[in-house]
Chain A
């Protein structure tokens, strides 16, 4: 209805391959970016700090994982451990006096190195066996963090993140932390969108579809699987650091437990594998829907509309949430991104059913 595709022509292949050749898509992206930038002025600190900011950071995490799971097709059930390594590395580096900018890089590099070492298992195993290998990583990293006091500061310790400045600006109040998180997420998004258009991205997709077929056409699976683990772990490590500094402002091992890994996988799956929009939608769904459901049922319970016990009240949201995830997997296995895509196409060919020429 609002998509206008006539008059879009290209005199160079470069513009033909642009991210959003259709003006309506560009407007949507611009409007959403503007909204995100203006958010500190538009929403209260509660919503900014407890909803928007975590949504952005978890989106970055989901996109990092989606690069590995969606584009390269390598399952990873220990991504929280990757983020944990990033978070702890950055905290310790800043404590040792390293500038924050370098600490973020360091977090990414350390996570990338360790992530790649474990990713090497992917060269030999696939599918469920790779899941086991990455699970092992999750537990190993958890164990090391908890049991090495030099890292965790003791078994039940919480490390507070020190005061930092980013490019000369203090990262202290909520607004500055939000903008840092938003900046990182946008950077990851742009990277993710563009990776798909590079030879690297196409190589990953070739490997995802069939690794030995990719090898036949000259894509080296050894190299690209390791590169996929490395890139994804780098992004995950930096996201872990951003999560620690902007959102939690402290690090404990529980923040990066196995549950978190599962949640990340859920974000990627519910959102849609290998889709940038899916990263945003999946993270939003997994983070926000439980809260909305809880609030809704609490309101219903308080208003006497339904008569339920306290115990039931705590569990109902989880039941609905579980049902919704099952529903998505049943009706739209390709995730929220596919629903978005279908909706977009519905309007793209409006008022017809399919494109005509």
Chain B
């Protein structure tokens, strides 16, 4: 069962400038030939980093490809790849690409139903899974999708004796593939010659903030173009140390850990497991580091909590030098250069505080730290820049390999995201939408003509983001066009913009601003358990659980203070008048946020209708019947008493 394919000729006609044999496998073969001792991959296993050279990498990919071929996988087949970052999953993706099959990665924490939907949508014929957990997940929904022929797994623990039918270890495939390759000397060259620059290299998915995720096939040419644009802009260097810890289903991981890693010969370091990722990161000390704004702000919270409980001298030194550096960084942003004395003092601070903190975080050797995905908090951004990390933002979508616009090393500002990479065209149309054109822009959604037509107009990608150019020509991203909403009196506002401003506070993990078609704005807040928990501990505020902590009057006051702070900075029409602390965090398993933690407003509106109604009815508190889905799939209800807080008028 293979999905419909446009003929190779028509696909090739889309990009006449691409060279047919300029594809990922050819680049891997080139690396294996030219750098036989270069380390392509390092995997931590029981405390020890096992290294893999380029020739080893190529051999295992080809062997696995030969194994897959024996299993009947070939041109155009879509294969699910699900699990944490594991070398064998990367091998499998490249082996599939080598056979002109299409790997379709899924997030490791995807629900079985999400996996089923993906399999049905994309006519998936086989699955590559990390371990027993993922195999079980697929096995759960297998009855509802009979297109799935086989499951291949990496970690045999719990599966050796009880593997479900049609499941076998990847290791066995590699072994069989090696035997095949040894027996047929022509096969190796045959495999190497098969892929084509116009083939899809991966089938990624839109986050699905609204509706079902759309498949986004990226071709070899797209990702390579993106990587080359970025390298030309100095965004990547050759031979970086890279840590592969972000989900494989995210476009960034494919761009960084596979495309850029092959093209620019990165060493891809794979942590032992997700829980040890931070520790392993410190061991490797990468030179290139990407983290979402949320992860950076989580890191900042960890530092602040660590400093709050440290000893006196260390804390005083930290307080002094950190606020000094932040002031200095603020002055730099305003274009003032520091005096000689300030520079010397900063050097001292680097020795005493900044250097040690960078070392503790494992970011000592990072020269290119990046963030993207959503707006980063001003405080967080300034903090890490003050710490001596040249943190930069970039902007892109899955549709353009996430490599489109980035801040340059010298020209940093808080509000802009930078300039497009050389080779990428960018313009803003009459409605204020950002349009992007370049070889890195995809050729259309997977079997979705309608969405493709909406998104691609004359080769321009409509990003759906509202943007404008700053005076110096840098791009400013305002928010999603579709997210502009109106209050009852017609005032325009973008909830995400306000929410992001609020989320910059370490005490607030998530917040949802309500106000479309209403008299005033209100906020549903999810407190950050670790930060507020620490805050409560220091002040002797007793609590037993998240739910109880969130309803403590002291915590209500704390959060109200954070919102009042925002109210002071926005026009009066955008004041947030009332707020509720939610008894739980928004959870992707409940569908309230996507896996990348973007809010799903319609779900939230529906789940918490009772709360929202109470807020606008002017009540002071309510008893909320919370529906709970246990991990076993059972549901129950629990009554939570939630306080509603009125926020004061403008302070001062």
Contacts and interface: CB of A to CB of B under 8 A. Distances in A.
Nearest to B310: A353
A352 interface: yes
Contacts of A350: 314, 356
A168 to B, nearest CB: 45
A356 interface: yes
A304 interface: no
A150 interface: no
B47 A10 contact: yes
Nearest to A357: B279
B570 interface: no
Contacts of B541: none
B159 interface: no
Contacts of A349: 360
B473 to A, nearest CB: 37
B306 A356 contact: yes
22 contacts: A5-B359, A6-B282, A6-B283, A6-B285, A6-B358, A7-B364, A7-B365, A10-B47, A11-B42, A11-B49, A12-B48, A13-B48, A16-B48, A350-B356, A351-B307, A351-B315, A351-B317, A351-B357, A352-B310, A352-B360, A353-B310, A357-B278
B486 interface: no
Given A1-B356, A7-B284, A7-B365, 20 more contacts: A3-B356, A3-B359, A4-B355, A4-B359, A5-B359, A6-B358, A6-B359, A6-B362, A6-B363, A6-B365, A9-B42, A9-B284, A10-B49, A11-B49, A16-B48, A350-B356, A351-B317, A351-B352, A356-B306, A357-B282
* Top 4 A-B residue pairs of the complex, sorted by shortest distance between their CB atoms: A7-B285, A357-B279, A6-B285, A9-B283
A290 B533 CA distance: 52
Interface string B23-61: 000000000000000000010000111110000000000
Interface in B199-222: none
A352 B49 CA distance: 27
Contacts of B278: 357
Contacts of A5: 282, 359
**Interface size class of chain B, counting residues whose CB lies under 8 Å from the partner chain:** 35 or more
Interface of B: 42, 47-51, 278-279, 282-285, 302, 306-307, 309-311, 314-315, 317-318, 351-353, 355-365
Contacts of B42: 9, 11
Contacts of A3: 356, 359
Contacts of B282: 5-6, 357
Interface of A: 1, 3-13, 16, 349-353, 356-357
A352 to B, nearest CB: 4
Contacts of A352: 306-307, 310, 314, 360
B364 to A, nearest CB: 4
B283 A1 contact: no
Nearest to B362: A6
Among B283, B361, B362, the one with the most A-chain Cβ atoms within 10 Å of its Cβ is B283
Contacts of B352: 1, 351
The DSSP consensus for interface residues of chain B is: helix
Nearest to B364: A6
B280 to A, nearest CB: 8
Nearest to B322: A351
A234 to B, nearest CB: 36
B279 to A, nearest CB: 4
A3 B307 CA distance: 18
A304 B238 CA distance: 72
A10 B45 CA distance: 11
A356 B357 CA distance: 11
Contacts of B362: 6
Nearest to B356: A350
B359 A351 contact: no
Nearest to A355: B360
A4 B350 CA distance: 13
A4 B358 CA distance: 9
A352 B359 CA distance: 12
Nearest to A353: B310
B192 to A, nearest CB: 29
A349 B310 CA distance: 10
Among B306, B315, B361, the one with the most A-chain Cβ atoms within 10 Å of its Cβ is B306
A16 B283 CA distance: 12
A256 to B, nearest CB: 46
Contacts of B361: 6
A351 B302 CA distance: 13
Among B48, B356, B362, B365, the one with the most A-chain Cβ atoms within 10 Å of its Cβ is B356
Contact of B283 (A4, A8, A353, A356): A8
A353 B309 CA distance: 7
Given A4-B359, A6-B359, A7-B365, A351 B48 contact: no
A11 B50 contact: yes
A8 to B, nearest CB: 6
B419 to A, nearest CB: 32
B302 A356 contact: yes
Among A1, A7, A352, the one with the most B-chain Cβ atoms within 10 Å of its Cβ is A352
B174 to A, nearest CB: 22
A352 B311 CA distance: 8
Among B279, B282, B309, the one with the most A-chain Cβ atoms within 10 Å of its Cβ is B282
Contacts of B302: 356
B568 to A, nearest CB: 32
A10 B283 CA distance: 8
A351 B364 contact: no
A16 B314 contact: no
Nearest to A13: B48
Contacts of B284: 7, 9
A356 B47 CA distance: 17
Among A6, A8, A13, A357, the one with the most B-chain Cβ atoms within 10 Å of its Cβ is A6
A105 B589 CA distance: 73
A349 to B, nearest CB: 8
Contacts of A7: 283-285, 364-365
A3 to B, nearest CB: 8
B351 A1 contact: yes
A16 B47 contact: yes
Contacts of A357: 278-279, 282
Given A5-B282, A6-B285, A352-B360, A11 B306 contact: no
Contacts of A353: 306, 309-311, 314
A350 B310 CA distance: 9
Among B47, B311, B360, the one with the most A-chain Cβ atoms within 10 Å of its Cβ is B360
Contacts of A356: 302, 306, 360
Contacts of A12: 48
B363 A351 contact: no
Nearest to A350: B356
Nearest to A11: B49
Given A7-B365, A356-B360, A351 B285 contact: no
A2 to B, nearest CB: 8
A146 to B, nearest CB: 56
A9 B362 CA distance: 12
Nearest to A9: B283
Nearest to B365: A7
Contact of B51 (A8, A11, A16): A11
Contacts of B315: 351
A106 B279 CA distance: 51
A353 to B, nearest CB: 4
Contacts of A16: 47-48
A351 B313 CA distance: 9
A6 B359 CA distance: 6
